[in-house]
Amino acid sequence: MEFEPKLVGFLCKWCSSAGADLAGVSRKSYPPNLVPITVNCSGRIDVNHIVRALKDGADGVLVSGCHPGDCHYTSGNYKTWRRVALLKHVLEDFGMNPDRVRLEWVSATEGEKFARTVEEFTDEIKELGPGPFSNAKE
């Protein structure tokens, strides 16, 4: 059976989650591998959440928030941007492929971009294979 990655998506409520809804109501199709978790702001997602998800079996983690300048809480997405940058650097040292963590800005009007992001990310992780703690069935 083909490897079907398990992906966790942390989506901010104001932009990315709305973007995901738009993808749905506009009937865009994209792979079902991502489990979306809506949070108030991408700034709510800290490094622990991402590392925990990877440790508990996710093959990839998507963090998605409002575009720079558009965060509902002014600067949450900038903080997340820096956290993710730092985390990727550390993950690499741990021996994990940093591409397993992806940050993407998706606005409420970008249903198409959301669908494309999930599609791309799913393909990319399929390519990479199961994560270090994967619990996806092979």
Partner 1 sequence: MPKNKKKIGAYWASSCGGCDVALLGLHEKILDLLDFADIAFWPAATDFKYEDLKGYGKNELDLTFFNGGIRTTENEEIAELLREKSELLVAYGTCAHQGGIPGLANMSEEVDLFDTVYKGTPTSTNPENIFPQESTKKDGQTLNLPGLQERVRSLDRVVDVDYTVPGCPPPPDLTEDFLDLLVKGALPEKGSVVAGTKSVCDECSREWNRETIDELVRPQETEIDPDKCLLDQGIICMGPVTRSGCDGSCPEANMPCKGCFGPPPEVEDQGTEMLNSLASVLQLGEEGQALEQEKELLSDLPDPIGTFYTFSLSNSILGGKVSEGGENDRT
Residue 9 interacting entry, from ligand FES, partner 1, none, C-beta within 5 to 8 Å by type: none
Site size for ligand FES (CB under 6 A): 13
Handedness of CA 29, 32, 38, 41 (dihedral sign): negative
- Binding status of residue 37 toward partner 1 by CB under 8 A: no
Q: Based on DSSP, count helices (H) and strands (E) in the chain, helices before strands.
A: 4, 4
- Binding status of residue 14 toward ligand FES by CB under 6 A: yes
- Binding status of residue 124 toward partner 1 by CB under 8 A: no
Is 114 buried (19+), middle (13-18) or exposed (0-12) by CB count in 10 A?
buried
Name residue, tokens 């963090």.
Answer: 63
Nearer to ligand FES, 5 or 76 (CB): 76
Residue 41 interacting entry, from partner 1, ligand FES, none, C-beta within 5 to 8 Å by type: ligand FES
**Which candidate, 34, 35, 43, 33, places its Cα nearest to that of 13?**
43
Nearer to partner 1, 5 or 9 (CB): 5
Binding site for ligand FES (CB under 6 A): 12, 14-15, 41-43, 65-66, 71-73, 76-77
